[in-house]
Chain A
Amino acid sequence: MNAFFEHHKDSIQFSYRCFDRILLNGLIQPFQQPERVLGFFNVYRKGTRVTRKVLTGIADQFQYWLKNRSEKWGAPVIEAPDEQRRDAFVESYLRDCPADHVAVILKAREPARILVAIGAENNNSPHLEFKQRWVQSVQLLSQR
């Protein structure tokens, strides 16, 4: 108990301390170097070449999966508003959502570090490099 609390305790009804907001970065470590990505595809994806088409295909696949899940979960896919705070915008969706369920899916353009294949479209062995790009990220909100 600190001196400030001790001094004002008669005026204080109650007090508590907690984390207000914890933002965590999530990284898949084996995918953080291009060589290790090639190794992963060699071992687990039958030696598939990591080309521009393959990388685009993975992103497209994610979009199809997302659309499918959105229907299954009953969580609408919405563009994030520019003029309103996202917390306030999603409040109504979260209020009606049961725990451990996705309430709403927000799409927004944000910068991200992604793996790009440098070379012609038909190049079977492109140079892989990580680049900072503006991408359409997906934000899934849930009541936890």
Chain B
Amino acid sequence: MFVRVCPYFPFSARVCLNQHHWLAIRMTEEGIDFQQSTNAFLRCGNPTRLQELADSLTTQDLLRCGQKWLATFTPFITDQERRQAGCQHRLFFSQVEYCDNLIFHRRAAVEELTQRLLDLNRNIGQPKKITTIFGRKITKEYKGKLQSVIEDLDLPNPVIRSHYGHGFAKQYVRDDRLLRTEPATNNVYDYGVNKNVENLPQLRTAMSEIIDNYHNVQQDVLETFIDRGQLGKLAEPTVLPSGRRIPGLKLDHPRQLAVMHSLVRFSNIAAGGKFTTADLYNPALEVLGLTGSQYSLASFRYDLSKLRAKGLVEKVPRSRRYRLVGKGYSICVAFLKLFEKIYAPLTAGLLVPFRGDHALAEEKRCALDRLYQRICDDLDELFRAVGLKVAA
């Protein structure tokens, strides 16, 4: 700790405490094995007791420690004057940092996680998210900084810092295995807590809630279905070892969808999951509404080869038969569902809507129409959330 005293009247002072050092002394006294790296514990023989000790810091500890030193360092005032005139320092929060430390088993796990967090959380400073994290509503009267920045502070990993009011919440990795989330402020009013040091428990609760909110928001982002390139890879052409280039899968390609239709037929399952191209060809023609001269078997095989190249269909060894492998069935169903149940009807509804539909009362529209409308509305909301403008 340090005490900074102004030697001039009225002897204003500052007291700075570091709870990591405070905890280190307590753990040494209790004989707990630990490894400290300046402002962090990387190893602890009794983490439960460590947390108990951390929570045991009370207002009285701060007052006892601060007042003792401040009384020593202001010799101008006598003990009698302190008692009678109340000439002793009163302590108020000036700057507070509260940290959550997650120490991982492996360095690789933290690195992988932080890379994803950095990538996915770049939008965490949006006003709505800040409201979620800090639990304070952002109104038009708000004058403070409101942004997220990724900073390189000579640490091995960048720091994500989300500003709010007179403070911020930051997250970074230190000492390879420790992921730290730390809200800090220069004005505890930002958290709805008064500055008097007696409000330490309320401050701890408020800052702890900020950390929980920060983590929950991040988990929301991590768990969301976000494109990580898999769809793009399916759409990319495949180059075989022989050098032959086979086009990728296209979500809106009618022939591609017709092949998928023929692949997911239940009759194939009944046939033990194996089929010949001849078995699939006719159903594909039916789906397309074409004749054999318009869509040849060779063309069909060419389209099937695109799925084979992506490893969704394979040829059964020593046979003319094929079978779906891995996630082949699920991918085909997903493509078909997306196109036929989502893209096609939504596009029709958006580009050529039935004029009378808008005039209809909500309850008079059919259930399917209502559901599609809800998807349109939710898509608008999603576009806003991910930063895309809503189509006019």
Contacts and interface: CB of A to CB of B under 8 A. Distances in A.
Contacts of B20: 18, 20
A112 B8 CA distance: 9
Contacts of B215: 2-5
Contact of B18 (A21, A31, A65): A21
Nearest to B61: A144
Contacts of B218: 4
B75 interface: yes
B19 A17 contact: no
B231 interface: no
A14 B12 contact: no
Contact of B96 (A23, A99, A140): A23
Contact of A135 (B8, B62, B77, B91): B8
B76 to A, nearest CB: 6
A62 B87 contact: no
A19 B86 contact: no
Contact of B41 (A11, A16, A19, A141): A16
B7 A137 contact: yes
B232 to A, nearest CB: 26
B176 interface: no
Interface residues of A, number: 58
Contact of B85 (A24, A40, A143): A40
B100 A17 contact: yes
Contacts of A112: 6, 8, 12
Interface string A10-43: 0111111111111111111111100001001001
A55 B9 contact: yes
Interface stretch (B47-55, B139-147, B276-284, B301-309): B47-55
B358 to A, nearest CB: 40
Interface string B201-230: 000100010011001101110110000000
| Interface residue range, chain B | 35 or more
A20 B98 contact: yes
B5 A140 contact: yes
B7 A12 contact: no
Contacts of B5: 137-140
A8 B249 CA distance: 35
B87 A30 contact: yes
Which of B10, B76, B94 gathers the greatest number of chain A CB atoms within 10 Å?
B10
A26 B47 contact: no
Given A25-B12, A29-B90, A20 B97 contact: yes
Contacts of A66: 7
B144 to A, nearest CB: 20
Contacts of B197: 24
Given A15-B103, A24-B94, A99-B25, A113 B12 contact: yes
B225 to A, nearest CB: 16
A107 to B, nearest CB: 10
B102 interface: yes
A2 B216 contact: yes
A37 B12 contact: no
B7 A26 contact: no
A31 B113 contact: no
A20 B99 contact: yes
A142 interface: yes
A7 interface: yes
A124 interface: no
B85 A44 contact: yes
Nearest to A54: B9
B81 A143 contact: no
B3 A17 contact: no
Contacts of A87: 38
A16 to B, nearest CB: 5
B223 to A, nearest CB: 8
Contact of A4 (B3, B14, B87, B219): B219
Contact of A115 (B9, B19, B44): B9
Given A137-B4, A141-B2, A31 B10 contact: yes
Contacts of B177: 13
B6 A137 contact: yes
Which 5 residue pairs are nearest across A and B when measured between Cβ atoms?
A31-B10, A4-B215, A26-B13, A26-B89, A18-B54
Interface of B: 1-23, 25, 38-39, 41, 44, 47, 50-51, 54, 57, 62, 65-66, 69-70, 73-77, 81, 84-106, 109, 113, 177, 182, 184, 197, 204, 208, 211-212, 215-216, 218-220, 222-223
Interface of A: 2-5, 7-8, 11-32, 37, 40, 43-44, 55, 58-59, 61-63, 65-66, 87, 99, 110, 112-115, 133, 135-144
27 contacts: A2-B219, A5-B215, A7-B219, A8-B104, A12-B104, A13-B103, A13-B177, A15-B47, A17-B54, A18-B54, A20-B19, A20-B182, A22-B17, A24-B16, A25-B94, A26-B66, A28-B12, A28-B90, A30-B85, A32-B10, A40-B87, A55-B9, A112-B8, A135-B7, A138-B6, A140-B5, A143-B1
